[in-house]
Amino acid sequence: MGEIEQRPTPGSRLGAPENSGISTLERGQKPPPTPSGKLVSIKIQMLDDTQEAFEVPQRAPGKVLLDAVCNHLNLVEGDYFGLEFPDHKKITVWLDLLKPIVKQIRRPKHVVVKFVVKFFPPDHTQLQEELTRYLFALQVKQDLAQGRLTCNDSSAALLISHIVQSEIGDFDEALDREHLAKNKYIPQQDALEDKIVEFHHNHIGQTPAESDFQLLEIARRLEMYGIRLHPAKDREGTKINLAVANTGILVFQGFTKINAFNWAKVRKLSFKRKRFLIKLRPDANSAYQDTLEFLMASRDFCKSFWKICVEHHAFFRLFEEPKPKPKPVLFSRGSSFRFSGRTQKQVLDYVKEGGHKKVQFERKHSKIHSVRSLASQPTELNSEVLEQSQQSASLTFGEGAESPGGQSCQPSTGSLTGSPHLSELSVNSQGGVAPAHVTLSPNLSPDTKQTSPLISPLLNDQACPRTDDEDEGRRKRFPTDKAYFIAKEVSTTERTYLKDLEVITSWFQSTVSKEDAMPETLKSLIFPNFEPLHKFHTNFLKEVEQRLALWEGRSNAQIRDYQRIGDVMLKNIQGMKHLAAHLWKHSEALEALENGIKSSRRLENFCRDFELQKVCYLPLNTFLLRPLHRLMHYKQVLERLCKHHPPSHADFRDCRAALAEITEMVAQLHGTMIKMENFQKLHELKKDLIGIDNLVVPGREFIRLGSLSKLSGKGLQQRMFFLFNDVLLYTSRGLTASNQFKVHGQLPLYGMTIEESEDEWGVPHCLTLRGQRQSIIVAASSRSEMEKWVEDIQMAIDLAEKSSSPAPEFLASSPPDNKSPDEATAADQESEDDLSASRTSLERQAPHRGNTMVHVCWHRNTSVSMVDFSIAVENQLSGNLLRKFKNSNGWQKLWVVFTNFCLFFYKSHQDNHPLASLPLLGYSLTIPSESENIHKDYVFKLHFKSHVYYFRAESEYTFERWMEVIRSATSSASRAHVLSHKESLVY
């Protein structure tokens, strides 16, 4: 007899048996020596129908053979797969990874072992590698041919059409019919031929990788996807079939599911001879008895099914591999079987951390010689992997602009793309074109326009110019007065501000003049109100830099009278007051631009295309708010100067007068600025969401967005949540070309209650949100994340309760897709997802920036609030920093701009666009320890999982400023901080 028991505690292990064998290795330990002795050759049938022979020591455990197959395929996510074979009783069983091979495969010469998918995740986007999705697609193709994956004719035809697209490419009716005559993908295929050909016509331009993605998207919605039926009888003797899935135990009658027992309901699984037993948790509302009993064909058949149930529970439900229990001294009772290997969570974490190299693979059945999809890469490749990849790939800054070593300092990785998006390490993020010899990495989704927001900024560590101590002498000649470095901050941030103004006055205006997409009234509202600002601040910057040159003694007039900045600030702030009329117009310009985009598809496409240009490194409407934000920066600088200078200082009176002037201007514009920031954020979120129409309405305020896990019948599934002052939305990442987020549900806040429910559900950091019409259970990634959500949701509920009446129905759905009726039927009929969520066709989506805070929060499993955004607006900084990697020797000098929770890297301040960027949400900011052997002053350290970067500032003041602003991005604000922060802004 074998049995396992689940106790109602967090992290319970349903798959942990009483007696277990050897343990698998913790990551980082050295593997044990491979068992020596006689080698045995074992034939493995692959998913592409080829056969390979592998020689392994016959006394080696099964894991050695599975690892050999995965290594042969260069398969990183091999944990989803297994080896099955007929045992000596002709029962198909899975190879036990802990038992010696010789004890399982008695006559290896006469046995063919099949390499197949063992664990089918609920969502194929959890498969991070293109190779893994290709193998899953082959499994779907095999299941169709064998009649395992049953579905209606429309779904079958649509599935086959994607297979055909992957194998022969774009539609050609004669070629299609010839190919279908030679290849049988499903029994009774002839009756579906016309429908297959019709569907195939719709896939023109789709790459094999995109075909795999779409194939899995359709297949995963089918009830029989990944189902392996095991014949049994119930207590009444009725013939049924049992199956196990990621959600729990399923019961079928024929091919119809008649019951399901979720893992959360199952307390214990066991078998006694031929009887398979499921012990359920007590439930007053359930009509089922405490223990369910099913009779199977034999003890071996029953035990085989029990084992696969144990493995499914452990793989999908546990955070880590169950530890082996100590063997009893005298005798053992029950089976010693246990799950061996990484759980799904461990696999996802490993791939996201990038602990592997990207490799090419060959599609055996495809005639299309396509390069790998240049798509969104979910992994965070570590520095070592990227640095190795740089030896075979580099890009240039521009025509003929190369580094002294003959190579470019362009950011370069194993995942080079020609993407127009600025991501954490995009190759020039927007301008680089991948050379023909570059090995391209696998993609997360069939998106040829995206790069990941999660790759480290390696600006070619081997080729870029270095500086260890060449600046040391010049640095020592700098004035040591703190006021000098405050004045220098005015200069460095003014350079960035001017570049931001040029995005509108130069780049955007130039592009508008070439296209007739913008109405004259809108042009006259935007550009005449930005050009005077650009002209004024160009002169302001010149005056500041001239003063700094005198202060540093770079001219003949090295006298103490020039070691001040207050007079320059006072003169120019008084000049700014004459520009106030233009500043008042900026909020009007922002509203007019967004209204124009809403009413004109042409203007919308024009603005989205401009956002994809290299210079537009932030959302376009953000630049329209820059002049308002800049006033706050001047105020902060002057506050620091007034605090630093004693009243007797020669510069104190001018600084105080300038502070009074700028404080008055900020106070006048503050209300407008708060309103416009919310307006801008709603419009930015609107671009990230699909399935909604009326997100931006008067009175709606954004509060928080972030990643939470939603508990459902399928287990914990990652969802993005968006909290507003009247409603809470939850979404999943969609399948559009831009990876937007599809709304699945909405909970009005009026009448909602929130309660912690870790004990009830056995899930850490778990909350139950009870609405008037719907309740959901969610889990945060940490205690601090849960507390932030509780605080903000409760505040929003209180606000909603104080409103005069319940909020009306919140979001209207987007217009329906222009799908053909058959395709819509195939996609929808057998869906297990929320069918009320609208679907938006891939073709309709405009290109979209892939490194927004929504995507960063999704990948880093964190959240960010509107208060965080407001604080980030104040904490902007620019300047030179020296940067060093964890394993490199020298330091690289870079111009770094911090804004929008992100570090943007430039070769120099004169560059028009960044080379790479590093979103900081989730990163930790610390000081290097003695053991790290940095031995330099003013060094801070940024690290996230395996990514470690050191940055070196030029002075104590700049070091403290960088620490201050970066901490604001790496440490999310609490609600208490919000209130005190808002109070401090009242002048």
Check pLDDT > 70 for residue 824.
no
What phi and psi, each to the nearest 5 degrees, are found at residue 470? -65, -25
Contacts for 878 with CB less than 8 Å, ≥ 6 apart: 492, 493, 495, 496, 895, 896, 897, 898, 909
Rounded CA-CA distance 590/613 in Å is: 20
pLDDT at 433: 31
The band of 296, judged by pLDDT with boundaries at 50, 70 and 90, is: very high
The fraction of the chain above a pLDDT of 70, given in percent, is: 74
Tokens matching residue 35 = 């068992």
pLDDT at 738: 63
Q: Encode pLDDT of 238-276 as tens digits.
A: 999 999 999 899 999 988 899 989 888 888 899 999 999
Check pLDDT > 50 for residue 21.
no
Edge-to-edge strand ranges of the sheet holding 39-45: 51-57, 39-45, 112-117, 81-86, 92-94
Check pLDDT > 90 for residue 323.
no
115: which strand partners? 83
The pLDDT of 654-675, averaged and rounded, is: 92
The fraction of the chain above a pLDDT of 90, given in percent, is: 47
The pLDDT of 800-824, averaged and rounded, is: 49
pLDDT at 389: 31
Check pLDDT > 80 for residue 883.
yes
Rounded CA-CA distance 500/687 in Å is: 22
pLDDT at 822: 35
What phi and psi, each to the nearest 5 degrees, are found at residue 113? -90, 135
**Residues 745, 750, 753: CA angle, nearest 5 degrees:** 80
Q: Encode pLDDT of 463-507 as tens digits.
A: 444 454 545 545 555 677 899 999 999 999 999 999 999 999 999
Tokens matching residue 351 = 């791939």
Q: Encode pLDDT of 393-420 as tens digits.
A: 322 222 233 333 333 333 332 322 222 2
pLDDT at 833: 31
Number of DSSP helices (H) and strands (E) in the chain, helices first: 25, 29
Higher pLDDT, 325 or 42: 42
pLDDT at 671: 87
Tokens 């972030």 correspond to what residue? Answer: 706
Higher pLDDT, 440 or 281: 281
The pLDDT of 654-672, averaged and rounded, is: 92
Closest Cα partner for 879 from 901, 903, 912, 900?
A: 903
Question: Minimum mean pLDDT among 134-143, 213-222, 321-330: which range?
Answer: 321-330
pLDDT at 478: 65
The pLDDT of 552-559, averaged and rounded, is: 60
8 A C-beta contact, residue 920 and residue 904 = no
Q: List, in sequence order, the alpha helices (H) in 74-229.
A: 130-145, 153-168, 173-182, 193-200, 208-219
The pLDDT of 772-790, averaged and rounded, is: 90
Rounded CA-CA distance 418/178 in Å is: 37
Closest Cα partner for 612 from 419, 782, 457, 443?
A: 419
pLDDT at 402: 30
Rounded CA-CA distance 485/295 in Å is: 80
Compute CA 228 distance to the chain's CA centroid, rounded to the nearest angstrom: 32
Rounded CA-CA distance 457/412 in Å is: 9
Check pLDDT > 50 for residue 218.
yes
The pLDDT of 639-658, averaged and rounded, is: 94
Higher pLDDT, 21 or 38: 38
8 A C-beta contact, residue 208 and residue 163 = no
User: In which element (H, E) is residue 531 found?
Assistant: helix 520-552
pLDDT at 212: 93
Question: Minimum mean pLDDT among 85-94, 560-569, 734-743: which range?
Answer: 734-743
pLDDT at 849: 53
Higher pLDDT, 434 or 307: 307
The band of 794, judged by pLDDT with boundaries at 50, 70 and 90, is: very high
The pLDDT of 674-682, averaged and rounded, is: 92
8 A C-beta contact, residue 159 and residue 140 = yes
Tokens matching residue 765 = 């950091």
User: In which element (H, E) is residue 447 found?
Assistant: none
